[in-house]
Chains A and B, each alone.
Chain A
Amino acid sequence: MTNWADHLIILPILLPLFVGAALLLVDERHQQIKAFANLGSIVVMGGIALLLMRAVDPSTATGSAPIAVYRLGDWPAPFAIVLVADRLSVLMLVLTSILAFASAVFATARWQRVGAHFHSLFQFLLMGLNGAFLTGDLFNLFVFFELLLAASYGLVLHGSGQARVRAGLHYIAVNLTASVLFLIGVSLIYAVTGTLNMADLAVRIPQVPAQDRALLEAGAAVLGVAFLVKAGMWPLCFWLPTTYAAAAAPVAAIFAIMSKVGIYILLRLSLLFFGAGSGASALFGSDWLVAAGIATILFGLIGALASQEISRLAGYAVLVSSGTVLAVAAAAGQPAVTAAALFYLVSSTLAIAAFFMLIELLERGRDPGADMLAVTREAYGEDAPDDPDAEEVGMVIPASMAILGWCFVGCAAVIAGLPPASGFIAKFAMLSALLGGDAATGISPLSWTLLALLMLSGLTMLIAMTRAGIRTLWSPTERADPRVRLAEIVPIALLLLGCVAMTVQPQTAMSYMQGAAGSLHAPATYTDSVLAPVQTRVRTGGGS
């Protein structure tokens, strides 16, 4: 890593901070300026993420598992704050900026005008997300988590209206309680180990004496519950479909990544702290994660079948996706399986975000949507320029229903995992990794269970999506074609194109995921990279 590349790591946090703060000063009337600043910041962020991806890519870098470490204030690692960029966190950064770009473009068509400070909140949300992906210690993880949650509270209420306020009230209460659990977990872990740096924790956890182990595991479990609430794990997920269905479409689309933050942290911490080689506590809680993941998939499938509204269906699709990643990644503990789960994570997140935006267009003109708009207009007075006929951005595209239909088919194919969509490749990779596990011991019953569950989830989602599609697209209702602007259909197409790219070039994507999973399963490289200078400079004494 060269010097300039080192400083790149902190930019995904600083850039949205400054842009978001600057946008607060711009008057609400200058929406175009704000939108351009927001989009420009996201584009730069995406560029930085791609540069970082190049820096940690196994094919271009020299080392086997390059991990970029940024020490704030240049203090050695366990005594100060570090930011760590490895393949997994950079992958999440890239995914975040793609989703953010799509939903920010989508918001320029209409949603940015229905409430105050949309773009600033959006930037702060991105700051929290990027920070949570990059941070190397639990303390800052808490700070960035609260940052992204605070921004998300604002965004969930964006557009106001009774449904959003009620869903937001529940969402905030649940997440504040989860934050309390987060703090309890963090402080228990600190009490036992005396450190909050993730790499240092990974080194110290195998050395924790037996009498303190119960306390440590209790702390880890409480911390895990806090993340499981965010990831939408059954039975902690009842807030999720309601909140996501009530949120504005671009907000729900960017929230698709928020449930993945919890999964990212769980994957990282469970493999770092309780990986196969971590002594007495090895694989602590992984059975619970598998069980919770399976329960979540089942709950999500039942919910998807029971959904009368298409937006709730999308919320349950989020649950199915979260559950699948957790169950599969925690079950096998092999890099190949984790890599396939990561592939699934990326492709399903892209498709679900596109789906959330598509729903808004499909439901336009239906009665509930009209009600919601009326409430919004009433709440913000008559000066809100919310006339659907006003052509400010783009144009009304012809044959909009046909295009929306095709986008719906694309989303359904990816979410249900139909060939040739990327969802199919992801599921195929997970199945083949599960089946190819251990030649000596054969295939475990758990693998068979997951295999059946993956098939079942594909079939069930296909039924649910087809039913919703028939009801929305084919039912002969008396209504005109929805008015869709170019700025609304392009982001959906962009996200689906991302899925297509993963279908066309699965090998490129898969080899990156394998690199990411490989370094996740080798925590020694992570701890060595973060703690390297300290072990020579400070730890010359008895400690290891």
Chain B
Amino acid sequence: MELIVAIAIAALTGCGVWLLLRPRTFQVIIGLALLSYAVNLFIFSMGRLRVGAAAVLEKGQIGDPQAFADPLPQALVLTAIVISFATTALFLVVLLASRGLTGNDHVDGREPE
């Protein structure tokens, strides 16, 4: 499972970085979205990968921290998802405003010669 998660994170990050470096605004926004997915997976894996563990507490197993998954990365991922949704939406608005003002979708607002 570790290998699959690692490959998934690597693929998402690689595609995200490549798209982020593209000159079109839409590619940049997709790149940022992919990067944020990669980071969310990464945060999860940093809290140790567990299969079938209870989110916070299993019934009847109070007091045994081995029995449940680490809640802090989950909270961090939740916060990161909410924030990246909000900022990506904002970025989309700016992207549309830029498209409207400049008439093209180049990140500098000018088509290369």
Contact = CB atoms under 8 A, between A and B. Distances in A.
B46 A177 contact: no
Question: Binding site of B, secondary structure by majority: helix, strand, loop or mixed?
Answer: helix
Contact of B42 (A149, A160, A184, A196): A184
B80 to A, nearest CB: 6
B72 interface: yes
Nearest to A189: B46
A146 B42 contact: no
Nearest to A176: B32
A165 interface: yes
A162 B101 contact: yes
B87 A169 contact: no
A188 B46 contact: yes
A172 interface: yes
Given A139-B76, A143-B79, A173 B32 contact: yes
Interface string A139-176: 10011001001100110010011100110111011001
A237 B32 CA distance: 19
Interface in B68-84: 72-73, 75-76, 79-80, 83-84
B7 to A, nearest CB: 17
B43 interface: yes
B43 A183 contact: yes
B79 A165 contact: no
B55 interface: no
A165 B107 contact: no
A169 B95 contact: yes
A464 interface: no
B72 A172 contact: no
A161 B109 CA distance: 12
A191 B46 CA distance: 5
Interface residues of B, number: 33
A111 interface: no
Contacts of B97: 157, 160, 165
A3 B44 CA distance: 39
Most chain B CB inside 10 Å of its own CB: which residue of A146, A176, A177: A176
B39 A183 contact: yes
Given A150-B90, A187-B46, A139 B28 contact: no
Nearest to A139: B76
B94 A142 contact: no
Contacts of A170: 107
Contacts of A160: 97
A183 B32 CA distance: 14
A142 B79 contact: yes
A428 interface: no
A190 interface: yes
Nearest to B28: A173
Contacts of B32: 173, 176-177, 180
Contacts of A173: 20, 28, 32, 91, 107
B91 A166 contact: no
Given A165-B101, A177-B20, A184-B39, A150 B86 contact: yes
B35 A166 contact: no
A186 interface: yes
A76 to B, nearest CB: 16
Given A162-B101, A183-B80, A190 B73 contact: yes
A176 B91 contact: yes
A147 to B, nearest CB: 9
A120 to B, nearest CB: 15
A166 B42 CA distance: 31
13 contacts: A150-B86, A153-B94, A162-B102, A166-B109, A169-B91, A172-B87, A173-B32, A173-B91, A173-B107, A179-B87, A183-B39, A183-B42, A186-B76
Given A153-B87, A157-B97, 11 more contacts: A161-B101, A166-B102, A166-B109, A168-B94, A172-B91, A173-B32, A177-B32, A180-B32, A180-B35, A187-B73, A190-B47
- Nearest 3 Cβ contacts at the A-B interface: A191-B46, A187-B46, A187-B43
